[in-house]
Chains A and B, each alone.
Chain A
Amino acid sequence: MVRNALQRLLQSVLVLLGAALLVFLMLRIIPGNPAAVLMGEHADATVIKRMTEELGLDQPVLVQFFRYIADALRGDFGTSFSLGKPVSELMASAFVNTLILALFASAYAWILGIISGVIAAVKKNSLPDRLFMGASLLGVSMPVFMAAMLLQFFLGYQLKWLPIAGTSDWTGFILPAIALGWNSAGSVARLVRSTLLEILEEDYIDTARAKGRGQMGVLMVHALRNAMLPVITMMAIQLSGMLSGAVITETVFSVNGIGRLAVQAISSRDIPLLQGTVLFSAAIVIIGNYVADSLYNVLDPRIRKEA
């Protein structure tokens, strides 16, 4: 099992390197010299040339890449063109906001999703089932920006319960967290319901009843753990998605997170910053997948054996 874990870790590192190379190359293919953009429209050719040399942009791409990787390993992702600060510093402070947002959003989404999914499955075709599934359909099919604007309008503008945008204190995180988690609450609820319904038909559920387990015991001890296997994978991937920066939510609610930083980087042609944020997102997604894989291994003994 340990060997398997190490093997997958090595794979993850390779995937990350690949992602880094891809990002790097793509940004070099884009026409236009970043140094020229940096120096402004009316800059002198010699100035641009000096800047190009200073940034190392005159070197072959592979040399640039390995230099970048070597620096990145030391925690140095270069300096942002537009903000003039080290990229690592900018990302660290943005990540705090993204982290708070993602944790808020996923905690409420999962609790809501799991509980309503379980109730819907146990009381199949009842009123609560229809209500929850209707709500979750809304959850999975409504785009985030739509939910965000509705929340801003009703809870922020009309009722004035919560700030419309900005994160001057923790209440500012509530609306974006609801908007961001809404979607995953819906998909978790639907997945929990369908897996649980399938599991409740299994023979070992009969066995558990034949043992004398009551409904609650059958559900908690036997059904839920089996039903959670696919759900946990989904949740890990959702969380990594949120942690890698919720571009739309962060932009709509002016949360200074990774997603918003990336958007700023794009609009100001800030290559080091964009490179940093994209690489960071890739790393988070890869870590999320790794964690999901590992959890699956811990939870399902059948997979442990095959590995």
Chain B
Amino acid sequence: MADNTLEIRNLNTSFFTQHGEVRAVNDVSLDVRRAQITGIVGESGCGKSMTARSVMGLVRYPGRIVSGRIRLDGKEITGLSKKEMCSLRGNELSMIFQEPMSSLNPVMKVGKQVEETLRIHQHVTKEEAARRTEEIFREVGISDARSRMACYPHQLSGGLRQRVMIAMAMICKPKLLIADEPTTALDVTVEAQILSLMKRLCEGGTSILLISHNLGVIAQVCDYVYVMYAGRIVEQADTCTLFDHPVHPYTRALLGAASSLRSGAARLETIPGGVPNLLHLPSGCSFSPRCEKCARQCQNEVPQMLPVSGEGHLARCYFANVPEE
């Protein structure tokens, strides 16, 4: 059994638009370790959701995976046929989405929608499917499971709907659960409940890839974190290291903005400039136009992921190992 549930190597996903190729995911390599929560953090449009969709095989036209390898539990899944991908999705590989209201079919009872996943992948009787749905509803903390199964999505609260989504994703006991901003649409108390549920699932042996723009969420639950910027991974480290010793200027700026909020600074720290247009990326480091440390080298050539002191800590910056003055 491989150490990593998911291994992505040099993944490139692009959208081919009228204006040219938009490189949404640019040479991304990442690992999701077994029974751990691995996070991807970054701002909107940085390619984190597209990375997840690439793994699921759910990239929509005009986007497609250009190159790269994706391995699930040691098995290559890039290049699988549509049919083979269908038998993986919902079964070994599942995903929950950001917006729990619109992610459920409005004209179908939630119980039926969860049973459906089971019945696509396993030959079970109606009764068996209903029984297991009730069971998984209890597991994800839906009280009064039996009567809730007969509800339509609009009759449930946001938190309950997200629990239904998680139940749907978990019913076939997948190896990997991808959660794309699972708590963004929820209020903070419900967010805490959902996050602790995800932690519990992880302790139960599920590997989770958690995508969020919220550093707080990442800090709370992730074991290991990847920071993405403009389609590339710019820094990766275990959660403690990343939050204690960020090296990449982008990560530092991101954390700086968050901590200026917490420390009650008079003025919110921001990152000057805007996210580069993915159609016309700067020739060197994508962050160079906004970076205060930017040198000539940074503008000419994209830096590689360089190891930083501390195990498993890499950063895409020429100054990664230059000590702070």
Q: Which residues of A contact B (CB under 8 A)?
A: 202-204, 206-215, 217, 221-222, 225-226, 229, 299-302, 305
Does the CB pair B105–A299 fall under 8 Å? Answer: no
Chain B neighbourhood of A217, CB < 8 A: 120
Does the CB pair B87–A301 fall under 8 Å? Answer: no
Within the complex, which residue of A206, A214, A221, A225 is in contact with B97, where a contact is CB–CB below 8 Å? A206
Within the complex, which residue of A202, A204, A211, A215 is in contact with B120, where a contact is CB–CB below 8 Å? A211
Binds A, one of B5-13, B88-96, B132-140: B88-96
Residue in A closest to B61 when the chains form the complex, CB atoms: A124
Chain B neighbourhood of A225, CB < 8 A: 107-108
25 contacts between A and B (CB under 8 A): A204-B103, A207-B168, A208-B105, A209-B89, A210-B56, A210-B58, A210-B90, A211-B90, A211-B120, A211-B168, A212-B89, A212-B90, A212-B121, A214-B86, A215-B82, A217-B120, A222-B108, A225-B107, A225-B108, A226-B106, A300-B107, A301-B106, A301-B152, A302-B107, A305-B154
Query: Would you call B223 an interface residue if the criterion is a C-beta within 8 Å of the partner chain's C-beta atoms?
Result: no
Query: Would you call B36 an interface residue if the criterion is a C-beta within 8 Å of the partner chain's C-beta atoms?
Result: no
Q: How far is it, in angstroms, between the C-alpha of A262 and the C-alpha of B154 when the chains are bound?
A: 48
Knowing A210-B94, A302-B152 are in contact, say whether A226-B103 is a contact too (CB < 8 A): no
Q: How far is it, in angstroms, between the C-alpha of A229 and the C-alpha of B105 when the chains are bound?
A: 13
Query: Would you call B21 an interface residue if the criterion is a C-beta within 8 Å of the partner chain's C-beta atoms?
Result: no
Chain B neighbourhood of A203, CB < 8 A: 97, 99, 102-103
Q: How far is it, in angstroms, between the C-alpha of A300 and the C-alpha of B108 when the chains are bound?
A: 9
Q: How far is the CB of A123 from chain B (nearest CB, A)?
A: 12
Residue in B closest to A300 when the chains form the complex, CB atoms: B107
Within the complex, which residue of B82, B107, B154, B165 is in contact with A207, where a contact is CB–CB below 8 Å? B165
Chain A neighbourhood of B121, CB < 8 A: 212
Task: Give the interface residue-count category, chain B.
Answer: 20 to 34
Does the CB pair A302–B154 fall under 8 Å? Answer: yes
Chain B neighbourhood of A210, CB < 8 A: 56, 58, 89-90, 94-95, 97, 169
Query: Would you call B116 an interface residue if the criterion is a C-beta within 8 Å of the partner chain's C-beta atoms?
Result: yes
Within the complex, which residue of A202, A209, A211, A301 is in contact with B116, where a contact is CB–CB below 8 Å? A211
Residue in A closest to B95 when the chains form the complex, CB atoms: A210
Complex interface residues of chain B between 72 and 130 (CB less than 8 A to chain A): 82-83, 86-91, 94-95, 97, 99, 102-108, 116-117, 120-121
Does the CB pair B155–A305 fall under 8 Å? Answer: yes
Chain B neighbourhood of A301, CB < 8 A: 106-107, 152, 154
Q: How far is it, in angstroms, between the C-alpha of A195 and the C-alpha of B155 when the chains are bound?
A: 24
Q: How far is it, in angstroms, between the C-alpha of A307 and the C-alpha of B56 when the chains are bound?
A: 40
Give a binary string over B135-176; 1 marks a CB under 8 Å from any A CB, 0 the rest. Answer: 000000000000000001011000000000100110000000
Does the CB pair A211–B103 fall under 8 Å? Answer: no
Q: How far is the CB of B180 from chain A (nearest CB, A)?
A: 10
Does the CB pair A226–B120 fall under 8 Å? Answer: no
Q: How far is the CB of A193 from chain B (nearest CB, A)?
A: 17
Q: How far is it, in angstroms, between the C-alpha of A302 and the C-alpha of B153 when the chains are bound?
A: 9
Q: How far is the CB of A154 from chain B (nearest CB, A)?
A: 41
Q: How far is the CB of A220 from chain B (nearest CB, A)?
A: 12
Q: How far is it, in angstroms, between the C-alpha of A302 and the C-alpha of B154 when the chains are bound?
A: 7
Contacts A204-B106, A214-B82, A229-B107 known; list 14 others, CB within 8 Å.
Answer: A203-B103, A207-B103, A209-B58, A210-B58, A210-B94, A210-B95, A210-B97, A211-B90, A211-B116, A214-B83, A214-B86, A300-B107, A301-B106, A305-B154
Q: How far is it, in angstroms, between the C-alpha of A209 and the C-alpha of B91 when the chains are bound?
A: 12
Within the complex, which residue of A204, A215, A221 is in contact with B104, where a contact is CB–CB below 8 Å? A204
Task: Name the 8 nearest CB pairs between A and B, nearest first.
Answer: A212-B90, A211-B90, A203-B102, A301-B152, A212-B89, A203-B103, A210-B95, A211-B117
Q: How far is it, in angstroms, between the C-alpha of A293 and the C-alpha of B62 when the chains are bound?
A: 39
Within the complex, which residue of B102, B120, B154 is in contact with A212, where a contact is CB–CB below 8 Å? B120
Chain A neighbourhood of B58, CB < 8 A: 206, 209-210
Does the CB pair A204–B117 fall under 8 Å? Answer: no
Residue in B closest to A306 when the chains form the complex, CB atoms: B154
Interface hub of B87, B104, B120 (most chain A Cβ within 10 A)? B120
Residue in B closest to A205 when the chains form the complex, CB atoms: B105
Q: How far is it, in angstroms, between the C-alpha of A209 and the C-alpha of B117 when the chains are bound?
A: 10
Residue in B closest to A211 when the chains form the complex, CB atoms: B90
Q: How far is it, in angstroms, between the C-alpha of A202 and the C-alpha of B95 when the chains are bound?
A: 16
Does the CB pair A222–B105 fall under 8 Å? Answer: yes
Chain B neighbourhood of A226, CB < 8 A: 105-107
Q: How far is the CB of B183 from chain A (nearest CB, A)?
A: 16
Interface hub of B104, B106, B152, B155 (most chain A Cβ within 10 A)? B106
Q: How far is the CB of B102 from chain A (nearest CB, A)?
A: 4
Residue in A closest to B155 when the chains form the complex, CB atoms: A305
Q: How far is the CB of B176 from chain A (nearest CB, A)?
A: 12
